[in-house]
Amino acid sequence: MPELKTVGLFLLTALAEIVGCYLPYLWLREGKSILFLVPAAVSLALFAWLLSLHPEASGRVYAAYGGVYIFVAIFWLWLVDGIKPTMWDIVGSCVAVAGMAIIMFAPRAA
């Protein structure tokens, strides 16, 4: 089950990063309160901490995380922005997740 833990951790990490970036977007582009920057900073700190929990080398984690981020961002597009993903959005995010799986779960020499 370490694979499930890895994917779950990546999903939480992506959500923390997206929220941490979306709140300043709301302040800058939608005229929301500057106080949105406080939870945004907390969310981005959480994002950095969550990335540090993986036992793999940081470069491998950062590269693989990008695939999950793409998947979560497309899901965000649908749920938050109200824009239905295209077939190409879905195909692209599946390719990205496949890349994450190859990077994180490939057999390694002991």
* Dist. CA 51–CA 16, nearest whole Å: 10
Tell me: the pLDDT tens digits for 86-106? 999 999 999 999 999 999 899
CA dihedral angle for residue 85, residue 86, residue 87, residue 92, rounded to 10 degrees: -70
Q: State the SS3 of 80-99.
A: CCCCCCCHHHHHHHHHHHHH
Q: What is the mean pLDDT of residues 15-43?
A: 97
Compute the mean pLDDT over every residue in the chain, rounded to the nearest whole number: 93
Quote the pTM value: 0.88
Rounded Cα–Cα distance for residues 33 and 102 (Å): 42
* Distances, alpha carbon 25 to alpha carbons 51, 64, 91, in Å: 23, 25, 27
Angle at 68 between CA 16 and CA 5, to 5 degrees: 80
Measured between alpha carbons, how far is 69 from 9 in angstroms, rounded to an integer? Answer: 11
Find the mean pLDDT for residues 18-42: 97
User: What mean pLDDT comes out for the span 27-56?
Assistant: 95
User: Could you tell me which of 33, 1, 37 has the C-alpha nearest to residue 20?
Assistant: 37
